[in-house]
Amino acid sequence: MANHIIIYGHGAGDPGAVGHGLTEASYYRDKLDPFIRKWAGKLKNNTLTVANEAENQFVETQKGKGIYSMRNFASITEMHLDAASGTAKDGHVIIAKGFAPDAADKRIRDVVKKHVGLRPNYPDGFSYRNDLLNLNVAASLGIGYRLVELGFITSAEDTQQITANMDALAKDLVQAITGEVIAGGTTTPETGGNSNNKGEIEMYLIHAIDTGNWYVSNGVQCRWIRSERMLKNYKNEFGKLNLRVDNMYSTELYKEFPKDKIL
Ligand SMILES: [Zn+2]
């Protein structure tokens, strides 16, 4: 028996990212929430509480409430949607740098993979950060916390996938967060919306924040862009390529692509 809490990102006047007729705040509060509450209500051995939706839990934490007032929960799961220009798509799970994903983190990662797909630049589906307020406060208090980026609100494909199967998505999320298997079928297919694991290659740029170096990757290989001319080319100077950019520290980069493997 454990009590868990889920936070919908943004809110209280902050819509978060916007795209395809959705806002981050309203997607979770207006669309997914009824399904989350429905499945949370069916839990028998655990509880899942929805954090006050009238509040922005980032602002609440800044005021000394928010995460600070969630010490009695076994875990906190904060839901967001990514935004970028161009063709960026798919989701990932953010946990504190220096921590290993726990079983619930991995189950949630698998839900993202099933319904939306995982970003190729996070092969195991996890991004490790130490520059997010709620994440840092939770880590300092010793509370299990993860931030879920359930795909890109700026992607037509992702927004289709996160709205098509919401009953099944919510059931999977509630089960993943609590570790409890809930009886009962869903009104939408339980197979998930991510039918396009075709292994298509998507190129993207990586900017190492600390060294200023630029790289181009297809998720499997990573090449250092040594000349300014090539970088300009990749950065859409000629209007053809419009690659998304991931900013990260070189330590994170080398975790994904060992230094001696970078071309
Ligand atoms: Zn957000």
Give residue 227 CA to ligand 1 midpoint distance, Å.
34
Cα of 43 vs centre of ligand 1, distance in Å, is 27
Q: Look at the block and give the residue holding tokens 């869903």.
A: 186
Structure-token pair, residue 149: 């980026």
The reply to whether 168 falls in a domain is: yes
Assess whether 154 and 64 both reside in one domain: yes
Please indicate, yes or no, if residue 184 is contained in any of the structural domains.
no
User: Is there a contact between 148 and 105 (Cβ–Cβ < 8 Å)?
Assistant: no
Bigger pLDDT: 80 vs 261: 80
Q: What is the pLDDT of residues 23-38, one digit of tens each?
A: 999 999 999 999 999 9
Does residue 135 sit in the same domain as residue 225?
A: no
Are 174 and 209 found together in one domain? Answer: no
Q: How far, in Å, from the CA of 80 to the mean position of ligand 1?
A: 4
Q: 16 lies in a domain?
A: yes
In this prediction, residue 121 carries a pLDDT of 86
CATH number at residue 141: 3.40.630.40
| Structural domain boundaries, residue 246 | 204-261
- Reported confidence tier of residue 197, pLDDT bands at 50, 70, 90: very low
pLDDT of 242: 65
CA–centroid distance, 78 to ligand 1, in Å, is 9
246 is a domain residue: yes
Q: 3 C-alpha vs ligand 1 centroid, how far in Å?
A: 24
| 133 and 222 belong to one structural domain | no
* 262: CB partners within 8 A, 6+ apart: 215, 222, 223, 224
- Identify whether the C-beta of residue 176 lies closer than 8 Å to the C-beta of residue 108: yes
Whether pLDDT at 193 is above 80: no
Q: Are residues 120 and 237 in the same domain?
A: no
The per-residue DSSP string of 65-109 comes to -GGGGGTTSSEEEEEEEE--STT---BEEEEETTPPP-HHHHHHH
For residue 52, the CA-to-ligand 1 centroid distance in Å is 16
pLDDT at 203: 72
Burial class (CB in 10 A: 0-12, 13-18, 19+), 12: middle
| 79 alpha carbon – ligand 1 mean position (Å) | 8
Domain count, the chain: 2
Last residue of a domain, one of 129, 160, 178: 178
Residue 234: its H or E element: helix 228-234
How far does residue 205's CA lie from ligand 1's centre (Å)?
21
pLDDT digits (tens, 9 = 90+) for 70-94: 999 999 999 999 999 878 999 999 9
Q: Which of 43-52, 141-150, 207-216 has the lowest mean pLDDT?
A: 207-216
Which is higher by pLDDT, 247 or 147?
147
Same-domain status, 98 and 168: yes
Cβ distance 139 to 4 under 8 Å?
no
Confidence of residue 192 (pLDDT cuts 50, 70, 90): low
148/211 same-domain check: no
Q: What is the mean pLDDT of residues 127-137?
A: 97
- Report CA(81)–ligand 1 centroid distance (Å): 5
**CA 141 / ligand 1 centre spacing (Å):** 22
**237, pLDDT greater than 70:** no
Q: How far is the CA of 4 from the centre of ligand 1 (A)?
A: 20
CA neighbor of 72 nearest in space, from 7, 139, 3: 3
pLDDT of residue 241: 63
Distance 179 CA to ligand 1 centre (A): 25
Distance 14 CA to ligand 1 centre (A): 10
244 Cα: distance to centroid of ligand 1 (angstroms): 18
Q: Among all chains, which residue has been given the structure tokens 């916390």?
A: 145
Q: What percentage of the chain exceeds 90 in pLDDT?
A: 68
Verify that 13 and 118 share a domain, yes or no. Answer: yes
Q: Are residues 213 and 173 in the same domain?
A: no
214: CA distance to ligand 1 center in Å?
25
